[in-house]
Amino acid sequence: MSVAARVAREMGVKLGSEVGYSIRFEGCMSERTVLRYMTDGMLLREFLSEPDLASYSVVMVDEAHERTLHTDILFGLIKDVARFRSELKVLVASATLDTARFSTFFDDAPVFRIPGRRFPVDIFYTKAPEADYLEACVVSVLQIHVTQPPGRPGVPDGTGGDRGCLRDAPGPLPPPGLQDPGAAGAAHLRQPALRHAGPNFPPHAHRARKVVVATNITKTSLTINGIIYVLDPGFCKQKSYNPRSGMESLPVTPCSKASANQRAGRAGRVAAGKCFRLYTAWAYQHELEETTVPEIQRTSPGNVVLLLKSLGIHDLLHFDFPDRPPCESLLLALEQLHALGALSHLGELTTSGRKMAELQWTPCYLK
């Protein structure tokens, strides 16, 4: 919505006329709309009503590196549509995507590299692993406040439930040792909760500053003015699915190198910045995965099965996913949906199954 508003403003038009947007439970567009921003989930809904996307001449998938469940399904669907609609133009945009791999996936599509305006970012690592990354975040924020020039620190909060860590900061703590800067970073962060450790700040107005504590959804292109310091604890919450037990969990796991680089790049959006990684350089090089495991490979594929079935795609094992979900998970999802009455004994959607597909929620809860 914010992107649509900015584009409309820069084009000198009213939001909802030539430029519009669609998000869940809200839309702002008209018959004059020629540029429409929407979430990946909303674009999937467009496929339900218009499988060939005949109303669109260009489809652009931004932030493709996030590899959400909906985005990966969209890749397969758009690729299929583009094969029989030669006039349809498809753009896949990302700051850290494996371009060679995705070019091959989209039938050797050309790759364009567009340099962005980016300020240098100095990367700092800890000399030794941190036993408590929450405490290390608090210590680092205080150290930045006391020793660094004005600017807001941003703290990617990988656990989601620990946003009170700065508000509940303990008494004065020794500053952590940090090594010399390493390399420069790449892009992104977003939607913060604001906190600051007021009791430990010097009582001078010019020394006060805001601290932005943000979840791992903050790796988008939205810019928060004033952020020139980023503290990266190196963790995030990721869904995990065990097909044997049929249970999903949300454990705290180490982030990937691509995610760490995006967090670091957030410090260089408006000025030269610094990123303080609360883990060692060795851990970054040898312990972190290159990229984040796609969501479709670590979540229950029940919604995927319902959605593809509703689109008339029945051969799920041969659907063209960029990264195929485990066959065991797909077969288990088919069995579960049959038990819930969403699929008939022939594997076709029932009336209940079609309603479940429209709601796009966890099937067992919908039943």
Over residues 243-248, the mean pLDDT reads: 77
**What's the confidence (pLDDT) of residue 24?**
81
- Quick check: 151 and 100 in contact, CB under 8 A? no
% of the chain surpassing 90 pLDDT: 22
Q: Which residue has the higher pLDDT, 367 or 328?
A: 328
Q: Which residue has the higher pLDDT, 275 or 185?
A: 275
pTM above 0.95, yes or no: no
337: Cα separation from own chain's centroid: 28
Domains detected in the chain: 2-105 (3.40.50.300), 121-293 (3.40.50.300), 300-366 (no CATH)
pLDDT tens-place string over residues 186-195? 223 333 333 3
pLDDT band at 179 (very low <50, low <70, confident <90, very high): very low
3-state secondary structure the chain: CHHHHHHHHHHCCCECCCEEEEECCEEECCCCCCEEEECHHHHHHHHHHCCCCCCCCEEEECCHHHCCHHHHHHHHHHHHHHHHCCCCEEEECCCCCCHHHHHHHCCCCCCCCCCCCCCCEEEEEECCCCCCHHHHHHHHHHHHHHHCCCCEEEEECCCCCCHHHCCCCCCCCCCCCECCCCCCCCCCCCCEEEECCHHHCCCCHHHCCCEEEECCCCCCCCCCCCEEEEEECCEEECCEEECCCCEEECCEEECCHHHHHHHHHHHHCCCCEEEEECCCHHHHHHCCCCCCCCHHHCCCCHHHHHHHHHCCCCCHHHCCCCCCCCHHHHHHHHHHHHHCCCECCCCCECHHHHHHHHHCCCHHHHC
pLDDT tens-place string over residues 125-168? 999 988 888 888 888 888 888 888 776 566 665 544 444 444 44
**Per-residue pLDDT for 58 more than 90?**
yes
**Per-residue pLDDT for 175 more than 50?**
no
pLDDT tens-place string over residues 89-113? 999 998 778 888 899 999 999 999 8
Q: What contacts 224, CB < 8 A, 6 or more positions away?
A: 152, 154, 189, 190, 192, 212
What is the C-alpha to C-alpha distance for residues 118 and 270, in angstroms, rounded to an integer?
8
What is the C-alpha to C-alpha distance for residues 194 and 174, in angstroms, rounded to an integer?
24
**What's the confidence (pLDDT) of residue 287?**
93
Q: How many CA atoms lie within 13 A of 302 on its CB side?
A: 27
**φ and ψ at residue 315, rounded to 5 degrees:** -85, 75
**What's the mean per-residue pLDDT of the chain?**
79
**What's the confidence (pLDDT) of residue 88?**
93
pLDDT tens-place string over residues 299-350? 888 888 888 888 888 888 888 889 888 888 888 888 889 998 989 988 888 9
**What's the confidence (pLDDT) of residue 156?**
63
pLDDT tens-place string over residues 200-230? 333 344 556 777 777 665 666 566 777 888 8
**What's the confidence (pLDDT) of residue 152?**
56
pLDDT tens-place string over residues 111-133? 998 887 778 999 999 999 888 88
Strands 26-28 and 19-23: antiparallel
**What's the confidence (pLDDT) of residue 180?**
36
**Per-residue pLDDT for 176 more than 60?**
no
**Per-residue pLDDT for 82 more than 50?**
yes
